[in-house]
């Protein structure tokens, strides 16, 4: 569902400072919102404070939101905590692989598309 940003109520939260959201804002500008903010039935923000702040900086009037039924303060805390702690960063090896694939798929022209296809085939055969 979409909700007007001005209708989202930000109450007492664990994270009060969104920190540097430049990268998030740039991602949202390029790709849109990948994960909706979470709100309760009264439009109180449950999770997604940094995404909400980035959307404001982008000048968005509305944002995609998912309604969650939190029954009490403990439920709200569990959702907010899990939303911010259950992620896992890429390992250095995974980052290297991502960079390599980005380079592979960024090249232009039919020759490079063929090379990328061929490299994908080799990766699939070798199950990398």
Query: How many percent of the chain have pLDDT more than 70?
Result: 99
Tell me how long the chain is. Answer: 128
Q: From 54, 58, 47, 45, select the one nearest 3 (Cα to Cα).
A: 45
Q: Which residue has the higher pLDDT, 79 or 38?
A: 38
Q: Which residue has the higher pLDDT, 20 or 89?
A: 20
- The CA distance from 94 to 100, in Å, is 10
CATH of 2-85, one of 3.40.50.300, 3.90.1530.30, 3.90.550.10, 2.60.40.1180: 3.90.1530.30
Position 16 pLDDT exceeds 90: no
The contacts of residue 25 (CB under 8 Å, 6+ apart) are 54, 57, 58
Domains of the chain, residue spans: 2-85, 92-126
pLDDT score, position 128 = 59
pLDDT tens digits for 20-67? 999 999 999 999 999 999 999 999 999 999 999 999 999 999 999 999
């Amino acid at each position: 569902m979409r909700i007007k940003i001005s209708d989202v109520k930000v109450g007492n939260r664990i994270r009060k400072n969104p920190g540097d959201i430049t990268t998030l804002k740039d991602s949202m500008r390029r790709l849109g919102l990948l994960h909706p903010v979470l709100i309760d039935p009264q439009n109180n923000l449950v999770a997604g404070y940094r995404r909400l702040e980035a959307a404001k900086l982008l000048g968005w009037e509305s944002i995609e939101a998912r309604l969650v039924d939190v029954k009490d303060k403990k439920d709200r805390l569990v959702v907010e905590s899990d939303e911010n702690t259950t992620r896992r960063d890429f390992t250095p090896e995974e980052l290297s692989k991502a960079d390599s694939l980005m380079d592979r798929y960024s090249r232009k022209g039919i020759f490079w598309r063929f090379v990328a296809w061929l490299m994908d085939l080799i990766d699939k055969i070798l199950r990398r």
